[in-house]
Amino acid sequence: MIVTMTDVVKRYKNQTALDHLNLTVKQGEVIGLLGPNGAGKSTSIRVLTGLTNADAGKVTLFGADKLGNDAKRRIGTVPQDLALYETLSARDNIEYFGKLYGVHGSMLKSRVDETLEILGLSDVANKAPKKFSGGMKRRLNIGCAIIHKPELLILDEPTVGIDPQSRNHILDFVTNINKQGTTVLYTSHYMEEVERVCSRVCIMDEGRVIADGGVAELTRSVIFEETVTLEVKEPAPSLPESIKKVQGVLHCDVQNRIVTVTSTAASGNIARILEIAAPYVILGVSAKKATLEDAFLALTGKKLRDGEGDSL
Amino acid sequence: MRGMRDFLTVFKNSFKYCWSDRMGIVMLLAFPILIIFVLGNALSGYISPEYDFEEGEKIGIAVISETNSEHNALGTFLKEINIINVIYTDNLTALELLEDGEVNIIVGTDLSVTRPPVGNLSTQIAMSVVDSYSQISAAMETAIKNGENPAELMPLIESNISVVESPLGNRVPGAIDYYAVTMLVMILMFAGTNGLNVFEKGLFSQTGARTLTTPVSKPALIGGLLAAATVTAYIQGMITFLFSWAVYGVYWGERIHLVLLTLFGVTLFSQVFAIFMILLLKSPNAAMGGMQCIIWVMTFVAGGYVKIDFGEMNNVFQYSPNSLAHTVIFGSIFGGNETKMMSDLALLFVYSAVLFILAFLLGKRRISK
């Protein structure tokens, strides 16, 4: 394990940000932290990176109980807000953080060039980020965290407020850097991002991890039903009864020409249902499979994108 | 080794950051040059007309007259200086003369000096002269106690008189000579508010938080930020200093090194004060407000731009950083008491050292926790 958080508690005045949080990060994985506003995602990161102390519990990073300089050198942190020197050039920004992480001399120069190249910022290396677009600033924000090739990269909502092209660039980058061996801890409000890049997801709510697993595994464990909707030309009265006999089907309703079939999740019965309906001339088919968003809603009772930012 | 490397990294980056905002830099440099010009020329007559030092006028010093041999000696000393007009009088009359602007200071029987709440160049020269006398008097007393011949101190006396008179011999000092010193000190004190931006960016902003997630040590970080802010402010002060000397013809005396050291002391104090305030109040805005209030009070009281008599508190204010710097700079130009000048200069650096230690202790507890 690279990170182990055991029964971690953090309070801000009367508010409990982390309530006996238990979280582990394994080497080589991309773990997504999902949670509504105030779930404690950012506080978890602040505790991990030493920006705030936990009131109780134990945090272990790279096997050490204390976040020393050795552990800090092995971590790269991309904060939720832009953390740049806006009037210095992109190169200056990356160089500065590189030096603070202990990269110097010719290695620093080559790493800066490499980082700028990876993030598509080589052409604007000597320009100040105050003139950059939101997406370019976000990429530079990441660049300052990867200059020292960290073993663990923590990204706190790295794609907030940027264009789809930059978002794709960042998501591809996360996938690539993980393939090169970097472990990634990724928080986001965007479910599709997490589904796309994360191998494991932890859903947080009210300072705790309430579900932990792969995307499919989580969905299966929480969502028990899936729905197939058919549009048929001339549905016979006997059709619902025939469909109900198919294994896994829970309900079947017909209204006008629309047949709605509800089955247990992952029952794999769509082919059989289509076979039964085929004689009545199928005009259209749609299947709604359970998503991570459904799992999230079922677990927390909250929509994920009910606001921007995460104050805790 | 690692700490020094981090210190230099933070210093270089923050220094570069300070100078990367070109419009801000132009404003920083233009403002002090302009304010010295405006106060020293166009507005000088409106600010303290009753204390203007004009050609042909003499600096009035009221000496409380009693049968006291020391005051005879003081009178003898003062009469040697052409531009000084000595008036022997009683305490009440002396206060009336001071109120009316007929004299610039009153010297009491114990050589204590009473100055008007509103200061100017004449007051500073008069105070330097009396300071100088105190120094000579003390030296003579020591010489007599040690069985030495007091006459051997004559070169010292002559030297002090010549220091007082030499700048005045070339031309009549004007308001600009006074305001160049007081404004430069004020500007360097206010440079601390610019330093606040450096500390805010480097410690408390998102960028500061990111910096704290790196392996940089807090002493190297705080030290690097402080050094960058101090050097930036000092360069700003030096540009103003050179401009006032080369373009306005302000007289800075013969002991430039002492003036520059004092200006450095003020610069260092203002930056340490800034970092102390931001760590104490944990909010850049609150620190900015607090600093503005304190610096304005110190500037106006020590510089004497407004007529506020704080009574007994006037004595406390002479230990304000502005006042200490004025004593040393005017003393170095017009021959003040060497011992007092050195102790005031040392006190300025002691203030910075004490504040830095307090800031460091606060920083250990308060940065990002």
User: Which of A100, A131, A137, A148 is the best substitution to test chain B (most B C-beta atoms within 10 A)?
Assistant: A100
Domain count, chain A: 2
Distance from the A180 Cα atom to the nearest Cα atom in chain B, whole angstroms: 22
CA angle B10, B12, B17 (to 5 degrees): 90
Residue B235 is predicted with a pLDDT of 92
Same domain, A76 and A41: yes
Cβ contact A144–B216 (<8 Å): no
Same domain, A17 and A114: yes
Looking at chain A from residue 108 to 147, which residues have their Cβ under 8 Å from any Cβ of chain B? Answer: 128, 144-145
Distance from the B205 Cα atom to the nearest Cα atom in chain A, whole angstroms: 8
Contact (Cβ atoms closer than 8 angstroms) between residue A298 and residue A282: no
H-assigned helices in chain A: 41-48, 69-73, 90-100, 105-118, 134-146, 164-179, 191-197, 215-222, 239-244, 270-277, 292-300
Residue B201 is predicted with a pLDDT of 92
Domains of chain B: which residue ranges?
2-47+174-366, 56-165
Same domain, A124 and A254: no
Does residue A309 fall inside a structural domain? Answer: no
Residue B306 is predicted with a pLDDT of 56
Same domain, A158 and A62: yes
pTM of the model: 0.75
- Residue of chain A minimizing CA distance to B20: A87
Among A102-116, A288-302, B31-45, B325-339, top mean pLDDT goes to A102-116
Structure tokens at A305: 């994108």
Report chain B residues whose CB lies below 8 A from the CB of A145: 210
User: A283: helix, coil or strand?
Assistant: strand
Q: Any idea which residue has 């009336």 for tokens?
A: B96
Same domain, A216 and A237: no
CATH of the domain at A117: 3.40.50.300
The two beta strands, A152-156 and A183-187, are parallel
Same domain, A282 and A145: no
Of B315, B346, B341, B342, nearest to B330 (Cα)? B341
Question: Among A202, A220, A238, where does a domain finish?
Answer: A220
Distance from the A247 Cα atom to the nearest Cα atom in chain B, whole angstroms: 55
Residue B46 is predicted with a pLDDT of 42
Looking at chain A from residue 40 to 59, which residues have their Cβ under 8 Å from any Cβ of chain B? Answer: 49-53
Does residue A306 fall inside a structural domain? Answer: no
Same domain, A149 and A282: no
Residue A104 is predicted with a pLDDT of 92
Does residue A207 fall inside a structural domain? Answer: yes
- ipTM for the predicted complex comes to 0.79
Distance from the B84 Cα atom to the nearest Cα atom in chain A, whole angstroms: 55
Please report, in tens digits, the pLDDT of each residue of chain B (369 residues total).
778 999 999 999 999 999 887 777 777 777 777 766 666 554 444 444 333 445 556 788 888 876 555 556 677 777 767 677 888 888 888 888 888 888 888 888 777 888 776 666 777 777 777 776 776 676 666 666 666 665 665 565 555 555 555 444 444 555 667 777 878 888 888 888 888 889 999 988 999 999 999 999 888 999 999 999 999 999 988 988 888 888 777 778 888 899 999 999 999 999 999 999 988 888 888 999 998 888 887 777 665 555 566 666 666 677 888 888 988 888 888 777 788 889 999 999 999 999 999 988 887 766 654
Residue A152 has pLDDT above 50, yes or no: yes
Cβ contact B9–A100 (<8 Å): yes
Residue A287 has pLDDT above 70, yes or no: yes
The region that residue A63 occupies, defined by phi over 0 for left and psi between -120 and 50 for alpha, beta otherwise, is left
* Residues sharing a CB contact under 8 Å with residue B67, sequence separation 6 or more, in sequence order: none
Does residue A127 fall inside a structural domain? Answer: yes
Does residue A283 fall inside a structural domain? Answer: yes
Same domain, A166 and A21: yes
> pLDDT for A14-64, tens place per residue?
889 999 999 999 999 999 998 888 889 999 999 999 999 999 999 999 988
Closest CB from B201, B207, B368 relative to A52: B368
Of B113, B109, B59, nearest to B82 (Cα)? B59
Residue B98 is predicted with a pLDDT of 86
Of B291, B294, B276, nearest to B363 (Cα)? B276
Q: By residue range, what is the domain housing residue A193? A: 3-220
* Residues sharing a CB contact under 8 Å with residue B262, sequence separation 6 or more, in sequence order: B325, B328, B329, B332, B345, B348
Residue A311: pLDDT band by 50, 70, 90 thresholds?
A: very low
Residue B45 is predicted with a pLDDT of 46
Of B217, B235, B223, nearest to B198 (Cα)? B223
Residue B177 is predicted with a pLDDT of 72
Mean residue pLDDT of chain A comes to: 87
Does residue A301 fall inside a structural domain? Answer: no
Classify each residue of B116-154 as buried b or exposed e, where b means 16 or more C-beta atoms within 10 Å of its C-beta: bbbbbbbbbbbbbbbbbbbbbbebbeeeeeeeeeeeeee
CATH of the domain at A236: 3.30.70.100
Q: Any idea which residue has 């100088």 for tokens?
A: B132
Tell me, which fold does domain B56-165 have in CATH?
A: D-Maltodextrin-Binding Protein; domain 2 (3.40.190)
